[in-house]
Amino acid sequence: MSAIVWDKTGSREYELGVDRGVLYTQKTDGSGTYNNGVAWNGLSSVTESPSGADETVLYADNIKYASLRADEDFGLTIEAYMYPDEFSACDGSVEVSPGVYIGQQKRVPFGLAYRTKIGSDTDSDKGYKLHLVYNATVSPSETAYESVNDSPDAITMSWEAATTPVNTGDYKPSARITINSTKADKAKLAELEKKLYGDETNEPTLPSLKEVIDMFPKTSATE
C-alpha cells in the first residue's frame, strides 16, 4: 500500500488548443454514411456542450427512494475564420452556379474530427485527444460585417450544432467518441488516423462510431 502523492513530476497534465479539423458531410442516400473528408482550415474553437441527464427524484417511506437520470444530449459550438465549401450545404446553402449560393435550404448533417493537445509540467507536447462527432446539424447563425477601421480584425463565424446519437453496438447510442493518444493502442490509433486523413492510396473517410470502438482492444468493466 502507498499513500496518495499530489502533483508528482510529470503528472500535472493540461489540455489546450484545437487543430486538424476535418469535415465529413453525410451522404444524401439515407445510408447514414459520410462523403470523403475535407480539411477545415481556420477552425479556431470547438466548445462541447453536453446537456440533459436531468434528475427525477422518487420519494417513498418519507425518504429519497431513488434517483433517475434522463438521457444525455451532446451539442457543440464551432467557431472559425473560414469554412470549407462543402460546409455550405450543412449551413443551409446550395450552390446554384459556380460561386452563387442560395440560402434557407435543407441542412445536411455532418461528422467532424478535431484534435486537442495534451501537455504536462515536463512535456508541453505529451500527446493529444482525437475527437470524433457524428450526425451533427447546425442552426442558423448570425454574422456581423463591420467596416474596416484602424484596428481591423477578421470575422469570426460561429455555429450552434446539435447531434442525434447513433448505434454503438454494446453501448448506449452516442454521437461522439474521444481517443487519448497517451493511453490508446498506438498501432490502432495510427490505423484510425490513416482512415480519417487518407494517404497516397486511400481517400479520407469517417468510419462509423461502432467501427471505431471495434478497432481498439476491449477492457473489462473492472479495469
Instruction: Determine, yes or no, domain membership for 144.
Output: yes
Instruction: Determine, yes or no, domain membership for 143.
Output: yes
Within 109-219, where are the H helices?
Answer: 186-197, 209-215
**132 and 176 Cβ atoms separated by less than 8 Å:** yes
Supply the pLDDT for residue 220: 46
Backbone angles phi, psi at 189, to 5 degrees: -65, -40
Supply the pLDDT for residue 219: 66
- This prediction's pTM: 0.89
Instruction: Determine, yes or no, domain membership for 2.
Output: no
Instruction: Determine, yes or no, domain membership for 205.
Output: yes
Instruction: Determine, yes or no, domain membership for 8.
Output: no
Instruction: Locate 89 and state its grid cell.
Output: 450545404
Q: Show the 3-state SS of the chain.
A: CCCCCCCCCCCCCEEEEEEEEEEEEECCCCCCCECCCEECCCEEEEEEEEEECCEEEEEECCEEEEEEECCEEEEEEEEECCCCCCHHHHCCCEEEECCEEECCCCCCCEEEEEEEEEECCCCCCCEEEEEEEEEEEECCCCCCCCCCCCCCCCCCEEEEEEECCECCCCCCCECEEEEECCCCCHHHHHHHHHHHHCCCCCCCCCCCHHHHHHHCCCCCCCC
Q: How many domains does the chain have?
A: 1
Within 43-165, where are the H helices?
Answer: 87-90
Long-range contact list for 50-57, CB < 8 A, 24+ apart?
50/74, 50/75, 51/75
Instruction: Determine, yes or no, domain membership for 86.
Output: yes
Along the 223 residues of the chain, how does pLDDT read in single tens digits? 789 988 888 888 899 999 999 999 999 888 889 999 999 999 999 999 888 888 889 999 889 989 888 888 889 999 999 999 999 999 999 989 988 999 989 999 999 999 999 999 898 889 999 999 999 999 887 777 777 877 887 888 999 999 999 999 888 999 999 999 999 999 999 999 999 999 989 999 999 999 999 999 876 444 4
Furthest C-alpha separation in the chain? 71
Domain range for 79: 14-215
Instruction: Determine, yes or no, domain membership for 1.
Output: no
Instruction: Determine, yes or no, domain membership for 90.
Output: yes
Backbone angles phi, psi at 169, to 5 degrees: 90, -105
